[in-house]
Amino acid sequence: MVEAALATLIEEGYAGTSARAIATRGGFNPALTFYHYGSVDQLLLAALDKSSQERLERYRGLASSAVPPHELVRAAANLFREDVEGGHVVAVTELIGASLGRPELRAELVARMRPWLELTSEAIRRHLAGSPLSALAQVAEPAAFAVVSLYLGLNVLSRLEPDLSQVEVLFELAEQLSHLVPRAAPAS
Amino acid sequence: MVEAALATLIEEGYAGTSARAIATRGGFNPALTFYHYGSVDQLLLAALDKSSQERLERYRGLASSAVPPHELVRAAANLFREDVEGGHVVAVTELIGASLGRPELRAELVARMRPWLELTSEAIRRHLAGSPLSALAQVAEPAAFAVVSLYLGLNVLSRLEPDLSQVEVLFELAEQLSHLVPRAAPAS
């Protein structure tokens, strides 16, 4: 059910994701959504959790690897491209858009940002400690907030304007800049 | 009419902004929206243009001033607070949210990002030329894209989570970092 809900959200958008549309895609009875999840929104949050969990694992694996900064940026760019191509970006943006008219969704979405903020601030601490940018490592939490805000903004823009060339240029720029960051002391 | 439309969008959200709601607020006949603008969406775009124009003037004034970087960041933070308090952020975010379900709105919104991108890249060129970060001035366009993405992401987050304390911490951080940027050569 969660997979049918995620696929419907990605392909039809929030406005087209009814219990009936999900059930048709998954080949089950529409009433099951309410029986198991109580509402379409709760099923969609479960679908977002599944998608987020998979993506988080990938980013977590990258963040804990000991690669030099420019490779980290390049790998992060590839993960972002996967986020776009696999539909995760659409799922996130559609639910955020829906939450504007449904305040009860907002707190749920804000709570789901927490693991991303933690992962990002952990990655900043780890990769910048011992580098000339170690001042940033000491303010890892607001810096992570900035990174997650930027990620959300890029999500929204990639939804408004599917031509991602600007995002590509941005990642190239980040990669160039990352060459300026001397490698941190190897993790012990 | 444009003012009534903007106020309705800010206070009721896109979902609550009908021709009737706008007309009730403005004290005119609901048919006038269609007579003058053709649709509620076109009237709302005109309202966004009015709000954007005012904000753009303020940011443009700041960008062309010759203040040191840390004062620039502090002044930009104050402008962003005004964007939030005056409702501009709500208007932008509501229309972006609405555009998810109305693809015809997307191109209109993307086109309206252009003056913001130009202003930002101009400001980056002007303020970083001659500083140790002049490498960034040479890639002002993607850097401006990043800044505008970040701004959009902060807009969305400030709508999801009205407690702006993280944004405040972010601006404090930016101000601290800006002290590290030696002042560019005075504009001649």
Residue B128, token pair as written in the block: 């970083």
Which chain A residue lies closest to B159 (C-alpha atoms)? A100
How far, in Å, CA of A55 to CA of A76, rounded? 11
Q: Would you list the DSSP string of chain A?
A: -HHHHHHHHHHHTGGG--HHHHHHHHTS-THHHHHHHSSHHHHHHHHHHHHHHHHHHHHHHHHTS---HHHHHHHHHHHHHHHHHTTHHHHHHHHHHHHHH-HHHHHHHHHHHHHHHHHHHHHHHHHHTTSTTHHHHTTHHHHHHHHHHHHHHHHHHHHH---THHHHHHHHHHHHHHTTSPPPPPP-
Residue that wins the pLDDT comparison between B171 and B2: B2
Residue A187 has pLDDT above 60, yes or no: no
CA distance B39 to chain A (A): 20
How far, in Å, CA of A152 to CA of A120, rounded? 13
For residue B150, list chain A residues with Cβ-Cβ distance below 8 A. 146, 149-150, 153
Distances (CA, A) of A92 to A89, B164, B177: 5, 21, 31
Task: Please state whether A121 falls in left (phi above 0), alpha (psi between -120 and 50) or beta.
Answer: alpha
The top-scoring range by mean pLDDT among A5-9, A155-159, B153-157 is: A5-9
Q: What's the mean pLDDT in B117-145?
A: 81
Count of other CB atoms within 10 angstroms of residue B26: 18
pLDDT value of residue B8:
96
pTM for this one?
0.82
- DSSP letter at B149? H
3-state secondary structure of B17: coil
Residue A33 has pLDDT above 90, yes or no: yes
Asked if A160 has any chain B CB less than 8 Å from its own CB, the reply is yes
Residue B187 has pLDDT above 70, yes or no: no
Across chain B, mean pLDDT equals: 86
Asked if A144 has any chain B CB less than 8 Å from its own CB, the reply is no
Asked if B79 has any chain A CB less than 8 Å from its own CB, the reply is no
The top-scoring range by mean pLDDT among A130-139, B47-56, B176-185 is: B47-56
B33-64 pLDDT, tens per residue?
Answer: 999 999 999 999 999 999 999 999 999 999 88
